Structure 1
Amino acid sequence: MAFEKVEGVSVYGGTIDGRGKSLWACKAGGGNCPDGATSLAFHGSKDIMISGLSSINSEMFHIVIDRCQGVTVQGVKITAPGNSPNTDGIHVEGSTDVTITGAGIKTGDDCISIGPGTTNLWIEQVTCGPGHGISIGSLGKDYDEEGVENVTVKTTVFTGTQNGLRIKTWGKPSEGFVKGVVFEHATMHNVQNPIIIDQNYCPGHSGCPGQNSGVKISQVTYSDIQGSSASQVAMNFDCSASNPCSGIELQDIKLTYGDQQAKSSCSHADGTASGFVVPPSCL
Structure 2
Amino acid sequence: MVNVDDFGAKGDGTDDSEVFKKAWKETCSSKEGVLVVPKNRIYRLKPITFSGPCKSALALKIYGTIEASVDPSDYQKDRRHWLMFNNVQNFVVEGGGTINGHGNIWWRNSCKIDKSRAVTFYGCKNFRVTNLRIINSQKMHLSFQKCINVKASNLIITAPEKSPNTDGIHITETQNVQIMSSVIRTDQNYCDQETPCQEQYSAVQVENVTYKNIEGTSASQVALKFECSKNYPCEGIVLQDINLNLQEDGNAKDSCVNVRLSSRGRVSPHCPGEE
TM-score by length of 2: 0.69
Corresponding residue of 2:60 = 50
Contact 2:140 2:170 in 1 (8 A): no
Structure 2 Cα separation of the partners of residues 216 and 260 of structure 1: 33
Corresponding residue of 1:64 = 84
RMSD between superposed Cα atoms in Å? 3.0
Corresponding residue to 1:214 among 193, 203, 218: 203
Structure 2 Cα separation of the partners of residues 77 and 51 of structure 1: 11
Structure 2 Cα separation of the partners of residues 231 and 269 of structure 1: 21
Q: Secondary structure at the match of 1:259?
A: coil
Corresponding residue of 1:230 = 219
Instruction: Provide Cα deviations, 1:228-270, integer angstroms capped at 9, x if missing partner.
Output: 1111111111111111111100001111112121111111111
The reply on whether 1:162 has 2:187 as its aligned counterpart is: yes
Code of the residue aligned with 2:159 in structure 1: it is: P
Corresponding residue to 2:100 among 75, 79, 93: 79
Corresponding residue to 1:266 among 238, 241, 256: 256
Between Structure 1 and Structure 2, the one with more helix by share is: 2
Between Structure 1 and Structure 2, the one with more strand by share is: 1
Unaligned segments of structure 1, at least 5 residues: 19-36, 140-146, 164-192, 194-200
Closer, same or farther: CA 162–211 of 1 in aligned 2, 3 Å:
closer
Closer, same or farther: CA 124–249 of 1 in aligned 2, 3 Å:
same
The reply on whether 1:112 has 2:142 as its aligned counterpart is: yes
Cα deviation for residue 82 of structure 1 reads 4.9
Structure 1 Cα separation of the partners of residues 215 and 264 of structure 2: 15
Corresponding residue of 2:7 = none
Answer with 62-71 or 247-256: which moved more.
62-71
Contact 2:225 2:256 in 1 (8 A): yes
Contact 1:120 1:151 in 2 (8 A): yes
Cα deviation for residue 57 of structure 1 reads 2.7
Corresponding residue to 1:248 among 193, 216, 237: 237
Corresponding residue to 1:134 among 144, 165, 168: 168
Code of the residue aligned with 1:77 in structure 2: it is: T
TM-score by length of 1: 0.67
Closer, same or farther: CA 281–229 of 1 in aligned 2, 3 Å:
same
The reply on whether 1:17 has 2:52 as its aligned counterpart is: no
Structure 1 Cα separation of the partners of residues 216 and 130 of structure 2: 22
Structure 1 Cα separation of the partners of residues 261 and 194 of structure 2: 29
Q: Secondary structure at the match of 2:43?
A: strand
Closer, same or farther: CA 150–103 of 1 in aligned 2, 3 Å:
same
Contact 1:7 1:45 in 2 (8 A): no
Structure 2 Cα separation of the partners of residues 268 and 235 of structure 1: 14
Structure 2 Cα separation of the partners of residues 92 and 119 of structure 1: 10
Cα deviation for residue 209 of structure 1 reads 9.3
Contact 1:7 1:48 in 2 (8 A): no
Cα deviation for residue 48 of structure 1 reads 2.9
Corresponding residue of 2:176 = 150
Q: Secondary structure at the match of 1:89?
A: strand
Corresponding residue of 2:3 = none
Cα deviation for residue 121 of structure 1 reads 0.7
Contact 2:87 2:124 in 1 (8 A): yes
Code of the residue aligned with 1:102 in structure 2: it is: N
Structure 1 Cα separation of the partners of residues 43 and 118 of structure 2: 13
Closer, same or farther: CA 84–220 of 1 in aligned 2, 3 Å:
farther
Unaligned segments of structure 2, at least 5 residues: 1-16, 76-80, 107-114, 161-165
Code of the residue aligned with 1:13 in structure 2: it is: V
Cα deviation for residue 106 of structure 1 reads 1.1
Closer, same or farther: CA 44–237 of 1 in aligned 2, 3 Å:
same
Code of the residue aligned with 1:123 in structure 2: it is: A
Closer, same or farther: CA 113–96 of 1 in aligned 2, 3 Å:
same
